[in-house]
Structure 1
Amino acid sequence: MTLEEKAALCHAQSKFSSKGVPRLGIPDVWSADGSHGVSDEKLWDEWSGAQWTNDSCTAFPALTCLAATFNPDISRLYGKSIGEEALYRNKTMLLGPGVNIYRTPLNGRNFEYMGEDPFLASRMVVPYIQGVQSNGVAACVKHFALNNQEISRGEINVNISERALHEIYLPAFKAAVQEGNVWSIMGAYNKIWGVHCCHNDLLLNKILKNDWKFDGVVVSDWGGVHNTDQAVNGGLDIEMGTYTNGLTTQGHFPFSSYYLADPFLKGIKSGEYEISKLDDKAARILRMILRTTMSVNRPFGRFVSPEHSLAARQIAEEGVVLLKNDKQFLPITQGKYKKIAVIGENATRSLILGGGSTSLKAAYEISPLQGLKNKYGENHILYSMGYASGRPLYGAEEPSKLNIDSLQNAALAVARDADVVLFIGGLNKNYYQDCESGDRKSLSLPFGQDKLIQAIQRVNKNVAVILLSGNAVSMPWLDKVPAVVQGWYLGSEAGNALADIISGEVNPSGKLPISFPKKLEDVGAHAFDKLSYPGDGVSVYYKEDILVGYRWYDTKNIPVLFPFGYGLSYTTFQYGKPVISSKSITPSDSLVIKIPIKNTGKVVGKETVQLYINDEKSSLSRPVKELKGFKKVSLGPGEEKTVSFTLKKEDLSYYDDKENKWVAEPGKFNIMIGASATDIRGREDFILK
């Protein structure tokens, strides 16, 4: 290959492609925004859709929903299904999944990620990657690393301890590389310790490529490259979207002017840059092409198939979380009520559109209202909008022109006349809701929903609140309503999945991958000053350190609205006493823990058994508990199964940032078996020699 051919591999040639080597029959690299579905085709150098007629995909649930399944088998199904759609569209690389940790419930992109716990995200990302790549399509895990807010995302400099970096924010990426063997990784927009992540020598060269032995391709986020020297030497392989802010084009520039284009080539020829840098980048890109579009083992894809619709529905059903259910208010079986009022804009609004790069052109979308009509019959459903969100605009939130009082009065009239009310609200992927490039402004429900729910409850006590969102919200009305369901963004099959749960045809089994705080000030990132979040526009300081999510609430003894790992069922489960294989182990031993679980109710159900550990005494302070195992088990009425876990030295270790290594200190460890982070059903302890 010529120098020119090798350099051409390293930068974009269109909005979503980079060059191959036509002379040698090496194809171009084509990527697509992914995670929840394969995005539509774009114009050559625009963000606008190309208006093809054959690029409408299956929309899968958001990754918060996938994380809520606590089911690695479902994650593999997800990856395999979306990978088949990407393969059918002849994509080299699917730009997902995202595994940035949920640090604050205000982060606009939390819905794209896998929750607040590094162990959960690690266990769920690996099968997703394996599923995608079984199709000969490269998964591209993002955003590496610390892209935990959208405010000032392009320039904010994250200041964090090495311990928090390694214990909380890197494990899912490490698992993606070392266990998932991911073929590509996308850099983040932000800086860490003063250097942008897309060409950060510490992150990309030392940690990713040297320590973890990553042999794939590092791709920049679109517009995430700022400097030729750093791009050449800082570990980046393919530069995409330069001169854009990630969402809009700021004028037109030739691709030859990219930092890794003519300036790189000129520097190679002048001797400013080592040719070994170019050869390493080219070799990595060629390796990815050989693993994907040039692989002789690449199967055939399929697109918007019945199997994919079934997968999307199954993922959605396993991820829905039942938060409250007083006196078995749910399920609402068919024929139980004559008049069911459905109130709320999210019952009809598309939740596949919006949100930034996850916005999809879906072949179809079953709305919650349609799903409920299909389930209960049109003549039993009364619908009223109740509130209105307005039109989504880039960088702004345009209020609705509809009269709020009129909408509310109409909804109350419908509620007053109904036997039961299903309020379907939440967030909606508008700007400042769950949306790229802008964080939420508060923990509250927007558009007057809190006031509306309280007003509905005064005219009809039989209210179930169904929240569709990717983030936690406050619930000032919680003690007044008998049932609450957390539904996430559920994709093409949203309505069918929700109707199956509400009717009882499917027993809910999702568990929260995030904690729901009572108020924003209770969150670790918000417990300090503005420098902790959102920063001063230049820098942000992670002052809560390793205490993220339940680690913070438990250690600081702060009560939450709903804890991590929490989720109810239409049946009940009895936990037996945990039994451990030994009371004392050496660092080379494994410890086996077994717990009998019995379904003591009357319907089939699935329970996620969680294992947390506590280090009773350590040189560095540690959280009260850390998740180190989970198993989802399906049980028929009266059925009992034994769930087993295996703990190794790595599960007992913390990162010592003075020694720059993982340490498992000798001493006493406590095992806690729970149905959530705060619902501990059994305990045991052992000594690590």
Structure 2
Amino acid sequence: MCRNKKNTFFSIVIIFCSITMLHAQKASDEKIEIKIDSILALLTTEEKVAMCHAQSKFSTPGVERIGIPELWMSDGPHGVRSELNWDNWEYANWTNDSITAFPALTCLAATFNPELSKDYGVNVGEEARYRKKDVLLGPGVNMYRTPLNGRNFEYMGEDPYLASIMVVPYIQGVQQNGVAACVKHYALNNQELWRDHINVEVSDRALHEIYLPAFKAAVEKGNVWSIMGAYNQFRGQYCCHNQLLLNKILKDDWQFDGVVITDWGGAHDTKEAIFNGLDIEMGTGTDGLTTSTKNAYDSYYLANPFLKLLKNKEVSEDYLDDKVKRILRLMLRTSMNPNKSFGRINNIEHLNVAREVATEGIVLLKNENNFFPISPTKKLTIAVIGENATKSMTLGGGSSELKAKSEISPLQGIKARFKNATIIHALGYASGPSAYGRVIPSELDAKKLQQEAIEAASEADVVLFVGGLNKNHFQDCEGADRQSYELPFNQNELLNNLLKVNNNLGVILISGNAVEMPWLPKVKGLMQAWYLGSEAGHAIADVVSGDANPSGKLPFSFPKKLEDNAAHAFGELSYPGDSINQYYKEDILVGYRWHDTKKIEPQFAFGEGLSYTSFKMSNINTDKKTYAKTDEIIVSGNVSNIGNVDGKEVVQVYVGKPKSKVKRALKELKGFQKINVEKGASKDFTITINPSDLAFYDETISDWSLEKGDYIIYVGNASNSVSSTIKIRMN
């Protein structure tokens, strides 16, 4: 009885504190709105128009006469990009703009760890604040639709639920520093080929169920302060000024109160920009793109052409005022925020977070006869083969290129950890230097490189092949898609030749994309290692040596062959389109939804990832079997570590609807939890599912619909590894 009274008291206190905080936040918001109106009244039409477009490559003007500061932006979902010149894309060659490079977002997604996502956001936000940036252009949450997309490494995988859960703490972490996150690229920017004009046609259902949820979560749960439009068109309108995407969905339905920023050069028409939801125009292809022509930025669509329409009374100033109010709101949250932090940069805490994310994101995919871990105490000869063992992966890739203060290569990390081993390295292949928009072939002799690698492998006890993709053009790089699903630079041939002289070989694949693996049956081990940033080599050595137990899970499926991917199953009009239009013919069946529903076995499944220990799930159940539409569904169970090493397991909960009135995937991820379990121990888990997450987007009513009837809950540790199924009923 006393306990019940005590619990009731604490509940009342919590409710009271929550109400108090809500009132305080409301009062603060009201003060900001009053401040915005008072500033707006002081501005001339010319000053307001100037605030709606760039004044340099990465800034918009303030208003000097009344103390409104400039707004400064920077590329970098994985770190703050180095300084560029005012008017062109050349680097400014500053000496104080080196930063910590954090792992790419594919790696962050592979951690399945929202707490790490918050740490990541806080730390990259601190670096942006220290560099006096007001808007960090990231994170990216476009869906992984095809493994050929050159920009997949910047995104969070193929599942909208995973991306939605991981993006929110990232945003909150960045913005607590007084730096705006800018979620991109809104929307349907799922390929680089013809990205600047391709018109995407997709059903309303796929739009709302697959391609918008992470953006919606960023707005409604993350309270993101800015969003970047996409280059492509959607239903005949460019996404940077798209009536449906920006006005109807983003600003009306989701009540987004922040700023819509173009991708650089994403605006195409003054009136559409005015009326269809754009707030700030950046990078338009006038003289301001490449030269310092006087007044070039005044030629932007939201510059003099906008001002002329206003002065001729062809456009109401209400449209301008709405844009400026949003910009002022953004400034009061960032550049004019008196409570913003000072930031920090290149400190040990940032390196530790980068290393932790990298280590938790590495995915162990094959481990025949316990090839991994390799003991660092043994006196072995280890041949480290592959250009990716030494090639910088913070350079290149387009706008996410970073100037890292330090970058530990895989070879450096392995040498530092395996001090008792004899380490020999051979390139094996060479890709040539990174260059945006073009390929520069290597000048090295490919046959000689391969022969040197074969000789090194023949002398070794263990071979570690560190290969994959890189940040060069036509690889994992902005501006173009991959041209083939196979490994580039004759790596398949090299691997086969290495295996002929030494079959005690493991592959460490560095990439942001899936690749074809004809050599997979012959190798002893395989790790997916992503682009891991400043601490890449140390993180890889942590996992290879067993200092860290791998716990990453794949955030996207690896098809066996390209045709097994849904986007490629319907011919060229599905991908890449005919250069004018593209049709998402797979509809909602993206990634594992396609593999599951069509019974096409992947090479590796979404959510898959091995450990150096073994886990067992038991006592899996739901709190009841019949639910009303207002009831939360609580899935509980137990995870036991039955191996000999402490480890982390990701419990994954999927839900399917048999006998649905609409086409459905066999199952869809609706909950997950990462659990740290010591060897020999067990831990309980509880995962809560909101019934609204089981709804489908009903095109007949243009809204969400929750079907009555039976649902199947699948609980396991990968989309293809289910420990238990439970039938429930929604009334």
TM, length-normalised to structure 1: 0.99
8 Å Cα contact 1:337-1:419 kept in structure 2: no
8 Å Cα contact 2:382-2:421 kept in structure 1: no
Which residue of structure 1 aligns with residue 707 of structure 2? 665
Residue in structure 1 matching 2:364, options 322, 329, 344: 322
Which residue of structure 2 aligns with residue 120 of structure 1? 162
Residue in structure 2 matching 1:602, options 644, 651, 657: 644
2:438 corresponds to 1:401: no
Q: What is the SS of the residue equivalent to 1:332?
A: coil
Mapped partners of 2:690, 2:243: distance in 1: 32
Which residue of structure 1 aligns with residue 492 of structure 2? 450
Residue in structure 2 matching 1:424, options 459, 466, 474: 466
Which residue of structure 2 aligns with residue 630 of structure 1? 672
2:620 corresponds to 1:582: no
Mapped partners of 1:477, 1:630: distance in 2: 32
8 Å Cα contact 2:380-2:420 kept in structure 1: no
Q: Residue by residue, what CA displacement relative to the aligned partner does 1:453-511 show, whole Å, maximum 9, x if unpaired? A: 11111111110100000000011000001100000000000000000000000000000
- CA drift at 1:683: 1.1
2:341 corresponds to 1:299: yes
Residue identity matched to 2:461: D
Mapped partners of 1:337, 1:134: distance in 2: 48
- CA drift at 1:251: 8.8
2:51 corresponds to 1:9: yes
Residue in structure 2 matching 1:652, options 694, 699, 704: 694
- CA drift at 1:400: 1.4
Residue identity matched to 2:566: G
Mapped partners of 1:134, 1:201: distance in 2: 31
2:219 corresponds to 1:157: no
Which residue of structure 1 aligns with residue 404 of structure 2? 362
Mapped partners of 1:258, 1:616: distance in 2: 53
2:663 corresponds to 1:621: yes
Q: What is the SS of the residue equivalent to 1:124?
A: helix
The size of the alignment, in residue pairs, is: 688
Which residue of structure 1 aligns with residue 253 of structure 2? 211
Which residue of structure 2 aligns with residue 339 of structure 1? 381
- CA drift at 1:296: 2.0
- CA drift at 1:111: 0.2
2:663 corresponds to 1:639: no
8 Å Cα contact 1:337-1:420 kept in structure 2: no
8 Å Cα contact 2:376-2:420 kept in structure 1: no
Which residue of structure 1 aligns with residue 9 of structure 2? none
- CA drift at 1:548: 0.3
- CA drift at 1:379: 6.1
8 Å Cα contact 1:223-1:244 kept in structure 2: no
Q: Residue by residue, what CA displacement relative to the aligned partner does 1:66-109 show, whole Å, maximum 9, x if unpaired? A: 00000000000000000000000111100000000000000000
- CA drift at 1:577: 3.1
Mapped partners of 1:211, 1:47: distance in 2: 37
8 Å Cα contact 2:492-2:518 kept in structure 1: yes
2:128 corresponds to 1:97: no
2:514 corresponds to 1:472: yes
Q: 1:236 to 1:651 in 2, by over 3 A?
A: same
Q: Residue by residue, what CA displacement relative to the aligned partner does 1:620-641 show, whole Å, maximum 9, x if unpaired? A: 1100000000100001001111
Q: What is the SS of the residue equivalent to 1:576?
A: strand
2:258 corresponds to 1:230: no
Which residue of structure 2 aligns with residue 520 of structure 1? 562
Residue identity matched to 1:303: I
Residue identity matched to 1:189: Y
Alignment of 1:562-573 (within 5 A): 562-573=604-615
8 Å Cα contact 1:573-1:600 kept in structure 2: yes
Residue identity matched to 2:261: V
| Structure 1 segments unaligned to the other structure (5+ residues) | none
Q: What is the SS of the residue equivalent to 1:203?
A: helix
340-349 vs 252-261, which deviates more? Answer: 252-261
- CA drift at 1:646: 1.2
- CA drift at 1:398: 2.4
- CA drift at 1:146: 0.3
Alignment of 1:256-295 (within 5 A): 256-295=298-337
Residue in structure 2 matching 1:308, options 302, 325, 350: 350
Q: Residue by residue, what CA displacement relative to the aligned partner does 1:160-219 show, whole Å, maximum 9, x if unpaired? A: 000000000000000000000000000000000000000001100000000000000000
Mapped partners of 1:444, 1:685: distance in 2: 41
Residue identity matched to 2:528: Q
Mapped partners of 2:290, 2:438: distance in 1: 17
Q: What is the SS of the residue equivalent to 2:400?
A: coil
- CA drift at 1:650: 1.1
Which residue of structure 2 aligns with residue 109 of structure 1? 151
8 Å Cα contact 2:708-2:729 kept in structure 1: yes
Which residue of structure 2 aligns with residue 192 of structure 1? 234
Q: 1:73 to 1:244 in 2, by over 3 A?
A: farther
Which residue of structure 2 aligns with residue 542 of structure 1? 584
2:425 corresponds to 1:380: no
Mapped partners of 2:444, 2:341: distance in 1: 51
Residue identity matched to 1:186: M
- CA drift at 1:337: 4.2
18-27 vs 200-209, which deviates more? Answer: 18-27
Mapped partners of 1:580, 1:417: distance in 2: 56
Residue in structure 2 matching 1:85, options 127, 141, 146: 127
8 Å Cα contact 2:174-2:181 kept in structure 1: yes
Mapped partners of 2:119, 2:565: distance in 1: 33
Which residue of structure 2 aligns with residue 173 of structure 1? 215
8 Å Cα contact 2:633-2:691 kept in structure 1: no
2:192 corresponds to 1:146: no
Mapped partners of 1:23, 1:71: distance in 2: 47
Q: What is the SS of the residue equivalent to 1:313?
A: helix
Mapped partners of 1:598, 1:392: distance in 2: 46
Mapped partners of 1:648, 1:467: distance in 2: 37
416-425 vs 295-304, which deviates more? Answer: 295-304
| Structure 2 segments unaligned to the other structure (5+ residues) | 1-42
- CA drift at 1:266: 1.1
Q: What is the SS of the residue equivalent to 2:55?
A: strand
- Runs (4 or more) in structure 1 with deviation over 4 Å come to 250-253
- CA drift at 1:378: 8.1
Mapped partners of 1:56, 1:117: distance in 2: 33
Q: What is the SS of the residue equivalent to 1:659?
A: coil
2:102 corresponds to 1:56: no
Which residue of structure 1 aligns with residue 6 of structure 2? none
Residue identity matched to 2:532: L
- CA drift at 1:412: 0.6
Residue in structure 2 matching 1:28, options 36, 49, 70: 70
TM, length-normalised to structure 2: 0.93
Q: 1:378 to 1:227 in 2, by over 3 A?
A: farther
Mapped partners of 1:293, 1:610: distance in 2: 41
Residue identity matched to 2:274: V
Residue identity matched to 1:448: N
- CA drift at 1:245: 12
- CA drift at 1:244: 7.0
- CA drift at 1:335: 2.3
Overall identity of the aligned pairs, in %: 59
Which residue of structure 2 aligns with residue 348 of structure 1? 390
- CA drift at 1:338: 1.9
8 Å Cα contact 2:396-2:436 kept in structure 1: no
Residue identity matched to 1:240: M
Residue identity matched to 2:103: P
Residue identity matched to 1:62: A
- CA drift at 1:377: 2.2
Q: What is the SS of the residue equivalent to 1:13?
A: coil
